[in-house]
Amino acid sequence: MTKSNETTSMSSPCKRSDNFSAGEDMTNRGSLTSWITVFMAFVAGAAMANNYIMHPILPDVATSLDMKVSATGLLAGATQAGYLIGIFLLVPLGDLFNLKKVIIAQQIVLTLFLLFSALSTNYTMMLIGLFIVGLVSSSSLQISSLGFRVSPKKSRGATMGTIMAGISAGIVLSRIISGYLSDEYGWRSMLLILSGMTAFITVIAIKLLPNNNIPVSQGKTYTSLLKRLPKILSANSMLKTSITVGSCWFFIFSMLWVSLSIYLYNHFSLTSTEIGLFGFAGLAGVLATRPAGKLVDRVGTKRVMAYSFVTIFIGIILLLFGVNTLWPLVFGVILFDVGVFSAQVANQMRVLSVDSASRNSVLSIYMCFYYGAGSLGSSLGSYILGAHGWFVLCGIAASVCAFGLLVVLKGMTNISDFSTYPSSSARETNN
């Protein structure tokens, strides 16, 4: 894919939506203070965390519901299955209705079904409750879209970086917090506490979240939005490029993290607690998201993603040397996570710039492929490690990373002004 092809395929949709974007995105930019941005990051992170809260407490749930521990895997998978379906079915609603109202509605349902899950008396109730918890946890992406829409164009990178930091922190800290609350008070009380916290957050969000009124085109319905998703994908080369590179690093991320736990257990005989401490290395990636967003504001998306892929590659090379000592693994994980989280900030900003009239629909398409690639990586990781070993696994990861970097360098334009893309031929030379 050439730069000219990507621009040509995108110029028409963007021109059609210039007026829409102006009316839509400028409505409440003045009300987006740094404190509100931090609050949005907290809400997004808290919502995302619900997809992972069951992972450390499955044995306790199995004992309480009188079931086999092996059967509880579906409970952990239920939230993530619900989340993926929420990406497809709920995220596009942001192109049809006031985003704030959509977020508040999802938060209310999240509160109720965390409560429902806490009060579940059997496996089926628990499965249904957690599925819907995952479904409405997709509000984290709605908040990400809202932040992009209402941010002044010169600070969109910083805003997205802050919100992505919140989401990343929610993923990293969810297992630690849920495990602690469950140990101290029991898993049902843990879910009750999270339900109460979500309700409290929702009340504050009603007051603090900025409004984003969507001018709805005549004949635009929910069904028409869903039917339009394949057309959006086929018509936008820029979206396809973003899907390709995003899938590369999330495939690697998921494959390596699943395999790393097994490798640390088998090769270094670490305990579950000691392996869990590697999660703190992932906090480095969380800390990198806001600086990465600010860097996007300065130099554009292409450069940040190129830097990110190089950082990921170096991290993978360090992982290769983790044979006799843990230190290369520690530093490899740090660099690897910094690269992945930084790239995601830049790429999500590209995705939200594809079509200002359908930002949430475009985001929905991207995240479906993104999580699909992650699921594939998680599924293949343990098999590749067991069948071919650590060196082959890291070699595959490095090869996929190199391919992603090549796509960025050869097939991707650089975007640094998210209100006017593509505004002129000068945009193509801003590399």
Are 70 and 184 members of one domain? yes
pLDDT at position 339 over 50: yes
pLDDT at position 30 over 90: no
pLDDT at position 252 over 90: yes
Q: Let me know: does 343 contact 249? Beta carbons within 8 Å.
A: yes
Q: Let me know: does 209 contact 146? Beta carbons within 8 Å.
A: yes
- Choose one of 212, 239, 263: the last residue of a domain: 212
In a domain, 219, yes or no: no
Are 251 and 397 members of one domain? yes
- 241-257 mean pLDDT: 92
What pLDDT does 219 receive?
Answer: 62
More confident: 184 or 282: 184
What pLDDT does 257 receive?
Answer: 82
Are 300 and 422 members of one domain? yes
In a domain, 324, yes or no: yes
User: How many distinct structural domains can be found in the chain?
Assistant: 2
Helices (H), 31-98: 34-49, 58-64, 73-89
What percentage of the chain has pLDDT greater than the value 70?
Answer: 85
What pLDDT does 353 receive?
Answer: 86
- Choose one of 212, 238, 271: the last residue of a domain: 212
In a domain, 222, yes or no: no
Distance set, CA 123 to CA 18, 84, 119, 414 (Å): 50, 21, 11, 50
In a domain, 279, yes or no: yes
Domain that includes residue 330, residue range:
1-23+228-431
Q: Which helix (H) or strand (E) holds 208?
A: helix 187-208
pLDDT at position 217 over 70: no
In a domain, 142, yes or no: yes
Q: Which of 22-26, 72-76, 363-367 has the lowest mean pLDDT?
A: 22-26
Are 10 and 125 members of one domain? no
- 223-238 mean pLDDT: 89
- Taking each helix axis from N to C end, the angle separating 139-150 and 99-118, rounded to the nearest 10 degrees, works out to 160
What pLDDT does 324 receive?
Answer: 83
Are 236 and 115 members of one domain? no
Are 207 and 309 members of one domain? no
What pLDDT does 182 receive?
Answer: 86
Identify the CATH number of the domain in which residue 262 sits. 1.20.1250.20
- What pLDDT, in 10s, does the model give residues 370-408? 988 888 887 788 889 889 999 999 999 999 999 999 999
Q: Which residues contact 331 (CB under 8 A, 6 or more apart)?
A: 315, 318
What pLDDT does 18 receive?
Answer: 36
Are 170 and 62 members of one domain? yes
- Choose one of 212, 238, 261: the last residue of a domain: 212
Helices (H), 389-419: 390-411
In a domain, 220, yes or no: no
Are 33 and 127 members of one domain? yes
One-character DSSP codes across 155-206: GHHHHHHHHHHHHHHHHHHHHHHHHHHHHHH-HHHHHHHHHHHHHHHHHHHH
In a domain, 124, yes or no: yes
Q: Which of 46-55, 64-73, 164-173, 286-295 has the lowest mean pLDDT?
A: 64-73
Copy the structure tokens of residue 407: 């796509």
- What pLDDT, in 10s, does the model give residues 130-141? 999 999 999 999
Q: pTM higher than 0.85 for the full model?
A: no
Are 147 and 266 members of one domain? no
What pLDDT does 57 receive?
Answer: 80
pLDDT at position 118 over 60: yes
Are 206 and 303 members of one domain? no
Q: Which of 195, 179, 229 is nearest to 355 (CA)?
A: 229
Are 139 and 79 members of one domain? yes
In a domain, 217, yes or no: no
What pLDDT does 68 receive?
Answer: 77
Are 275 and 418 members of one domain? yes
